[in-house]
Structure 1
Amino acid sequence: MTRAETTGLRERTRRAVRAELAELALGLFVEHGYERTTVEDIAAAAGLSKRSFFRYFPTKEDVLFGDVDELADQIADAIRERPAGEDPWTCLHLVLRDWEGRIHAAQRELTGLRLIETTPALRARLHQKRDELRARIATALRERPGSTLDAFTADLLTAAAGAALDAAAREWLRSDGTADRSALIAEAFAVLSPHPAKPAPA
């Protein structure tokens, strides 16, 4: 087996363990409550030591946020790769629309989102993660070929895009997960658009 194959296998194994820990943790949080569930409880359910748990997640809060940090880098790369002539708001809409499903999957979907919304520690961690994501996205907007955006405008557009996603997510929760998330996002971006409304490309 080559070094690249070994590295790839190791990374796939790591991802599988992280996913298992996240699923086990979510089940324990729902059954016993977030505050009452310890890292030791999660590790024991997975047959790991507490020390091993921290090899996969830096904190208990992070177990519900999956690969958000890695996603942030990939989203930023996707923004940099959009056509140079595309206006920033359309760029944000199309990229975040395409990535929204994976962002939600990283937050464990409906049950996880509800838990996050009702747990102060998790909400605080979510806001921190979102701030970090928005900072990377704002930087990526300014780094696009031909971009003339200043830092203030990039921050403002990114914050508005984040508000659109947040509002769409809350409406999705209110619908018990039955609403069309893509349609909600499109509506939110249309309402906040700094330009006359235009249908997004299919």
Structure 2
Amino acid sequence: MTNSATIDAAGGLRERKRSALRASISDVARALTLEHGFSHFTIEQLCAQVGISRRTFFNYFPSKEDALVGHHEDGIPEPMAEEFLHGGRDSSPGEVSPSLLGDLVELFCQVAEQSPLDKTQYRKLIAAIEKEPSLLPKIIGGRDKWEAEIAALIAEREDLNPDDPRAVAATTLVASLSHKAGQKHFSPDNTDSYRTILTGYFAAAQSLF
């Protein structure tokens, strides 16, 4: 094995361990919220259950609210972002590449497939929000931040301003389809993958246009 391959493998292992610990912190935050209520447990109590220090907690999350939400907190992984940006290399400045929407759907699928949020955690998250509705703005704010990051990535790829109507429309369309796909994917009786659902919705949208 080459040195570069060894470094890549070590980096991948570190990232998997980091993701696993992050997921564990969020899991405990949701469980404590359901058991005690969000305002009735401390970060110290959360850390004690996870087995980490307060300092380690703040290396992963800026607040207890962020720990509970725990979704899209790291943004788009750099290799996925680079692949998406590379897809627009042949488009002329100011012109939108024909593959933009399809590549955007693929990006959403890749991000979802590496997310630690499974059906069990999704149900815990929804239950925690139902128990503490005051957390809903945090969810909405996270979604807005995520969509702004997507719009900025589209703008960079297509050489547009982030507020260009085309960047906004592409972001809004795919993000809305993704939201619906996520709801269906996490429904109790669903057996289809997120990718299958989202690409199906996208194909339906294409047929309408």
Distance, in Å, in 1 between the alignment partners of 2:120 and 2:65 is: 13
Identity %: 26
**1:82: which partner in 2?**
87
**Partner of residue 92, structure 1:** 104
Relative to structure 1, the CA distance from residue 89 to residue 12 in structure 2 (aligned partners, 3 Å threshold; closer, same or farther) is closer
Equivalent pair of 1:43/1:50 in contact (CA under 8 Å): yes
C-alpha distance in 2 between matches for 1:58 and 1:93: 29
Of the three residues 105, 122, 131, the one matched with 2:117 is: 105
Change (3 A) 1:107 1:156: farther
> In 2 relative to 1, CA 98–57 (structure 1 residues): closer, same or farther, beyond 3 Å?
closer
Q: What is the aligned partner in structure 2 of residue 20 from structure 1?
A: 24
1:123 partner letter: L
How far apart are 1:156 and its partner, in Å?
1.6
TM-score (norm 2): 0.70
Gaps of 5+ in 2: 1-6, 91-96
Is residue 24–residue 42 contact of structure 1 (8 Å, CA) maintained in 2? yes
AA partner of residue 98 (structure 1) = Q
Aligned: 1:41 with 2:54 = no
**Alpha-carbon distance change, 89 to 56 in structure 1, aligned in 2, over 3 angstroms:** closer
Query: For the aligned residues, what is the CA RMSD?
Result: 3.4
Counterpart amino acid of 1:99?
Answer: V
The alignment covers a number of residue pairs equal to 189
Looking at structure 2, the residues matched to 19 and 140 of structure 1 have their Cα atoms a distance apart, in angstroms, of 26
Structure 1 residue aligned with 2:167: 154
Instruction: State the 1:140 CA deviation.
Output: 1.4
Q: 1:79 to 1:112 in 2, by over 3 A?
A: farther
User: Cα–Cα, structure 1 residues 107 and 162, in superposed 2: closer, same or farther, change >3 Å?
Assistant: farther
Question: What is the CA distance between 1:137 and its match in structure 2?
Answer: 1.3
5+ unaligned residues in a row in structure 1: which ranges?
A: none
TM-score (normalizing by structure 1): 0.72
Answer yes or no: is 1:178 the counterpart of 2:190. Answer: yes
